[in-house]
Amino acid sequence: MSDLDTLHQSVDVHDMFSRVVKTYDLLNHVFSFNVDRLWRSRVVRMAALPANGKVVDVATGTADLAIAFARAHADCRVDGIDFVKEMIDRGMEKVAKAKLDNRVALSEGDALALPWENNRFEVATIAFGLRNLKDFRLGIREMTRVVHPGGKVIVLEFSPPPDTLFGRTYNWYLKRVMPKLGGKVSGWEPTYGYLYSSINAFLDHQALAALMRSEGLTSIEMFRLSGGIAYIHAGVKTKHSAERID
């Protein structure tokens, strides 16, 4: 059993995220030094979504990435799914405020059993949610299943901080500053202690790339973000990987 498996057994992730919805967006921006917006914009550009393209955003949270896609592509359709109803409710408020509810649909559901048929979407994305899944291999498999051959699976995720001065400083910040500040603002400190633990127990960027390849994705691209504290991984579904899933 991995350290992340042990962590997931000891923490009720659903309950944890349902408690911090009101301050979730603010703290995401504060703790990433506001560069999470730029990271999401890069995911949208990397997707190279065709005209009238369809996107599924898994573990969509409060729908920041889903909204970014809809704003960047006036003719696209985005489906977002998350297992925390409170996150979906907040996301729907943001979608309506942005006047995008005719093109962005959000639903409560399981990332490990997506409710769509095979080969439905051009792109499947997950941002900062893969390490929260109890089985991230199955999560990648499900995202690959619902993308048609030639489509992309894109993962934006924190990585264990590198052993550099910046990486060690950021890791100290994650461990010592974030739980106290996040707890004070949100009223629920365990969420931000979990963040530190889950990031340090997660796969490094090479291991994540290998996992994606093992699920049949090819042409894996990796983009290092902010000194290596996060990465974008993008893989292409081939006809061969579609046959494996079928």
Indicate the pLDDT class of residue 228, thresholds 50, 70 and 90: very high
Q: From CA 142, how far away is CA 214, in angstroms rounded? A: 13
Q: From CA 157, how far away is CA 127, in angstroms rounded? A: 6
Question: Would you state the structure tokens that stand for residue 180, as one six-digit string?
Answer: 């106290």
From the number of C-beta atoms within 10 Å of its C-beta (0-12, 13-18, 19+), residue 152 rates as buried
For residue 236, the model assigns a pLDDT of 98
- pTM to 2 decimal places: 0.93
Q: Which segments within the chain are labelled E, that is strand? A: 54-58, 77-82, 104-108, 121-127, 147-158, 217-225, 230-237
% of the chain at pLDDT higher than 90: 72
Mean pLDDT of the chain: 91
pLDDT in tens, 36-65: 899 999 999 999 999 999 999 999 999 999
Q: Which residues contact 143 (CB under 8 A, 6 or more apart)?
A: 56, 58, 114, 124, 126, 153
In three-state secondary structure terms, 124 is strand
Averaged over 78-106, what is the pLDDT?
97
pLDDT in tens, 158-173: 999 999 999 999 999 9
pLDDT in tens, 99-138: 999 999 999 999 999 999 999 999 999 999 999 999 999 9
Instruction: Pick the closest to residue 79 from 98, 53, 99, 97 (CA basis).
Output: 53
For residue 244, the model assigns a pLDDT of 61
Note the residue count of the chain. Answer: 246
Q: Which residues contact 180 (CB under 8 A, 6 or more apart)?
A: 189
Q: Are strands 147-158 and 230-237 parallel, antiparallel or unpaired?
A: antiparallel
* Residue 114 phi, psi (nearest 5): -60, 140
Domains defined along the chain, listed by start: 25-160+204-240 (3.40.50.150)
Handedness of CA 112, 140, 226, 206 (dihedral sign): positive
